[in-house]
Amino acid sequence: LAVANIGAVIMPWMVFYHQSAVVDKGMTTKDLRAARRDTAMGAVITQLIMIAILVTVAATIGVYHPGESLNTVQQIADALTPFLGKTVGTILFALGMVGASLVAAIVVSLATAWGLGEVSGYQRSLEHQPRKAPWFYVTYTAMLIIGGVVVVSGVNLVNLSVAVQVMNAALLPIVLGFLYLLALKALPKPYRLHGGYSVVVGMVVAITSILGMYAAVSPFF
């Protein structure tokens, strides 16, 4: 679960989504400071939300129902909602799940459509109408449909989520390694990593990569 949490916080595909979104917005080096602030704010806010959820679960289920099995979304809902009242708790939990699902569906589908577009060369921009970028919108729609099919297929979504996040952590060494080398050597000199900051970033990359490799090999031992 600890490794899965790393995969949930630093998702490899988010690197590709982020750079594609920057390109799609038409941002330039003049927007670099604003882009950094945007990324930093998003990272802080999402982590605060995650911390709030963990504290809430620990203060409710962890205190009153220690050791309770939480293997399905329904079990999580049933365990959390009584503390807020059945009606209010159910509504808040449902709104949280719907909001998170919508954001995830849009981001993952866009990352796939943009990524495949970069590989294959088809038109790929939200600025284009479907007639001008048909394959972009076909890929985007197909990903949404596939996600919907998986949800209604009856697969255990909790186990699937943990497995996907562990896979994310296992892929981190590849993505972060190339990203670090890119920032260290390939970027124009004014924008490269240098000095103590490059050392700190390198240490973070090394630690997360080691944990990612551990996630990849641990199931076999």
- Give 67's DSSP letter: T
Where along the chain do its domains lie?
A: 1-69+156-221, 72-155
Q: Look at residue 2 in the predicted model and tell me its pLDDT.
A: 66
Angle at 43 between CA 38 and CA 49, to 5 degrees: 125
Distance from the Cα of residue 100 to its chain's centroid: 11
Map tokens 């329904």 to a residue.
Answer: 74
Q: Look at residue 32 in the predicted model and tell me its pLDDT.
A: 87
Q: Look at residue 136 in the predicted model and tell me its pLDDT.
A: 94
pLDDT tens-digit profile, the chain (221 residues): 666 677 677 788 888 888 888 888 888 888 988 888 988 898 888 888 888 877 877 777 777 777 777 777 777 777 777 777 778 878 888 888 888 888 888 888 999 999 999 889 889 888 899 999 999 999 999 999 998 898 889 888 888 888 888 888 788 888 888 999 999 988 888 888 888 999 999 998 898 888 777 766 776 66
Q: Look at residue 72 in the predicted model and tell me its pLDDT.
A: 79
pTM, rounded to two decimals: 0.78
Q: Look at residue 43 in the predicted model and tell me its pLDDT.
A: 83
Task: Name which of 166, 165, 169 is nearest 208 in CA terms.
Answer: 169
Return d(Cα 108, Cα 89) in angstroms, integer: 28
Burial of 220 (0-12, 13-18, 19+ CB in 10 A): exposed
Burial of 7 (0-12, 13-18, 19+ CB in 10 A): buried
Do residues 12 and 171 make contact, with C-beta atoms less than 8 angstroms apart? yes
